[in-house]
């Protein structure tokens, strides 16, 4: 069997000493330590500044929704004020943290270039039937902690993308310019600085040790590139960065979009008939809209219509996701992607929410498929190895329903269901999506 690049990494990971070494390895030349101390703000300062916060016409969010929530915060309405306090606490903590880049992994990708993103598929484990554990084998739904350490870029990129979202929300409700500066530094590290920037492709993402160096499934690790789009819209609106910075980042995003559309791995991900294909659409359509490729984005939505045809049954069930070991997670996650693509489509004048496929399949039926289970009229019969069914509903299904009601109204998620949803929402969901 051909010995692939990830085999060497994987063999090392099976040894505890090597794993410990990988976990502690860092690059002192690429880490950026913030010297800015977060500003202390009391509730009155937050409320006063909120009235003046700038809201761009976001691609991935509804501007009017956020303005409505700002008014709720400015009037001291709970739980919105509490959500702002929680988000700013996270943002202030981030101001003191270290910014890492792709250079901080101990070994380069198969190309030999540390600027190339590298990750290992999360559900793959050493083979117990071979002396060296090769090739690794799949255990669906069971995350191997060795795939989430500092020897790959997955954890670093996740921290980067998550931080952009937190900092963007925090600025929106406080106008603390330290958050804008921090956003700029993150994006500079990952997409601008020629020494630390990530190359705009995912050729070596979610490899299977002993089998290959990269798979199409790695594309889903960059679903939150939407946070880069949103952060860039905010930086532009507030004039926090110069034209050269904007041009460089926009060129990076354009190159990444080109990779999604033309590379072998990108095209394979586009053909996936499950949540991977849906989240691919979420990235592609949003990037096209941001880069002013409106006609291309509108034409691309025929692909999303095909997903509604292929992924859903007439009763709203999702066979591809229900057969997974975390069925609640994946059915909810797939719908969250498609509901958000439907929101993007609405901006382009395309109605995906009311679209019906050849046998009557639709997004609305897929969402309402959950209602008998949430009302206790049916018991979930599918496999769910992560948390309890009730916990999975709260952490995965409820956020999807909140977004659905925010974008498509009370009829999309009726009151008796939504009264279960809103009390469970995290601060970021409360501060990004307004519902009645």
Per-residue pLDDT of 98-111, as tens digits, reads 999 999 999 999 99
More confident residue, 389 or 9: 389
Class of domain 293-436: mainly alpha
Query: What's residue 45's pLDDT?
Result: 54
**Do the domains 1-271 and 293-436 sit in the same CATH topology, yes or no?**
yes
Mean pLDDT of the chain: 91
pLDDT band, very low/low/confident/very high, at 53 (cuts 50, 70, 90): confident
Q: Are 413 and 404 in contact (CB under 8 A)?
A: yes
Who has greater pLDDT, 4 or 205?
A: 205
Task: Tell me how crowded residue 133 is: count the other CB atoms within 10 A of its CB.
Answer: 19
Kindly report, residue by residue over 109-136, the tens digit of the pLDDT. 999 999 999 999 999 999 999 999 999 9
Can you give the pLDDT at residue 40?
53
Backbone angles phi, psi at 236, to 5 degrees: -65, -45
pLDDT tens digits, one per residue of 319-331: 999 999 999 999 9
With b meaning 16 or more CB within 10 Å and e meaning fewer, what string describes 280-308?
A: bbbbbbbbbbbbebeeebbebbebbeebb
Closest-CA residue to 11 (of 132, 95, 151): 132
Give pLDDT, residue 402: 98
Q: What is the pLDDT of residues 206-220, one digit of tens each?
A: 999 999 999 999 999
| Pairwise pLDDT comparison (372 vs 47), residue with the higher score | 372
Quick one: average pLDDT of 36-58?
A: 62
Between CA 254 and CA 250 the distance in angstroms is: 6
Look up residue 41 and give its two tokens.
Answer: 């703000």
**CA distances in angstroms from 43 to 12, 52, 166, 431, listed in the order given:** 51, 15, 18, 16
Percentage of the chain lying above the pLDDT 70 cut: 89
Global pTM?
0.90
CA-closest candidate to residue 79, choices 436, 433, 431:
431
Residue 330 — φ and ψ, nearest 5°?
Answer: -75, -35
Confidence at residue 6, expressed as pLDDT on a 0 to 100 scale: 72
Average pLDDT on 138-161 reads 95
Span 279-320, pLDDT tens digits: 999 999 999 999 999 999 999 999 999 999 999 999 999 999
Q: Specify the pairing of strand 124-125 against strand 98-99.
A: unpaired
For residues 138 and 325, give the distance between their C-alpha atoms in angstroms, rounded to a whole number. 12
Domain segments of the chain as ranges: 1-271, 293-436
Q: What CATH class is the domain 1-271?
A: mainly alpha
Cα distances (angstroms) measured from residue 64 to each of 57, 70, 167, 189, 435: 9, 10, 20, 32, 11
**Comparing 268 with 30, which gets the higher pLDDT?**
268
| Helix (H) or strand (E) run with residue 67 in it | helix 63-74
Residue 137, pLDDT above cutoff 70: yes
39-43, 62-66, 155-159, 402-406: the lowest-pLDDT one? 39-43
pLDDT at 208: 94
Q: For residue 340, is pLDDT > 60?
A: yes
Can you give the pLDDT at residue 376? 97
The CA distance from 313 to 321, in Å, is 12
């Amino acid at each position: 069997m051909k010995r692939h690049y990830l085999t060497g990494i994987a063999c090392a990971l099976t040894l505890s000493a090597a794993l410990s070494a990988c976990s502690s390895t860092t690059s002192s030349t690429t880490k950026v330590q913030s010297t800015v101390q977060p500003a202390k703000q009391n509730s009155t300062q937050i409320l006063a500044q909120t009235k003046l916060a700038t809201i761009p016409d976001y691609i991935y969010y509804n501007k009017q929704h956020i303005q409505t929530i700002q008014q709720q915060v400015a009037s001291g309405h709970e739980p919105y004020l509490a959500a702002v306090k929680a988000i700013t606490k996270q943002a202030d903590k981030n101001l003191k943290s270290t910014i890492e880049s792709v250079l901080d992994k101990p070994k380069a990708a198969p190309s030999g270039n540390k600027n190339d993103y590298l990750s290992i598929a999360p559900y793959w484990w050493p083979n117990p039937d071979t002396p060296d554990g090769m090739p690794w084998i799949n255990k669906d739904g069971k995350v191997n902690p060795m795939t989430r350490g500092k020897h790959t870029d997955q954890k670093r990129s996740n921290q980067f993308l998550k931080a952009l979202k937190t900092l963007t929300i925090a600025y929106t409700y406080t106008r603390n310019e330290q958050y804008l500066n921090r956003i700029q530094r993150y994006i500079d590290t990952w997409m601008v600085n020629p020494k630390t920037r990530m190359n705009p492709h995912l050729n070596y993402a979610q490899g299977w040790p002993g089998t290959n160096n990269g798979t199409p499934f790695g594309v889903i690790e960059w679903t939150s590139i939407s946070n880069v789009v949103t952060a860039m819209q905010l930086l532009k609106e507030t004039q926090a960065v110069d034209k050269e910075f904007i041009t460089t980042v926009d060129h990076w995003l354009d190159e990444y979009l080109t990779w999604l559309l033309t590379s072998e791995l990108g095209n394979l991900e586009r053909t996936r008939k499950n949540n991977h294909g849906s989240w691919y659409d979420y990235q592609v359509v949003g990037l096209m809209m941001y880069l002013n490729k409106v006609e291309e984005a509108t034409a691309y939505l025929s692909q999303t219509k095909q997903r509604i045809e292929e992924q859903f049954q007439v009763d709203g069930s999702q066979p591809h996701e229900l057969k997974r070991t975390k069925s609640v997670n994946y059915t909810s996650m797939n719908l969250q992607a498609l509901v958000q693509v439907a929101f993007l489509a609405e901006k382009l004048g395309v109605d995906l929410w009311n679209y019906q496929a050849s046998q009557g399949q639709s997004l609305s039926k897929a969402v309402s498929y959950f209602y008998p289970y949430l009302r206790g009229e049916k018991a979930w019969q599918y496999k769910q190895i992560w948390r309890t069914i009730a916990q999975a509903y709260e952490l995965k299904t409820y956020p999807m329903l909140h977004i659905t009601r925010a974008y498509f109204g009370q009829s999309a998620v009726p009151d008796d269901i939504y009264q279960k949803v809103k009390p469970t929402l995290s601060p970021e969901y409360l501060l990004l999506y307004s519902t009645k």
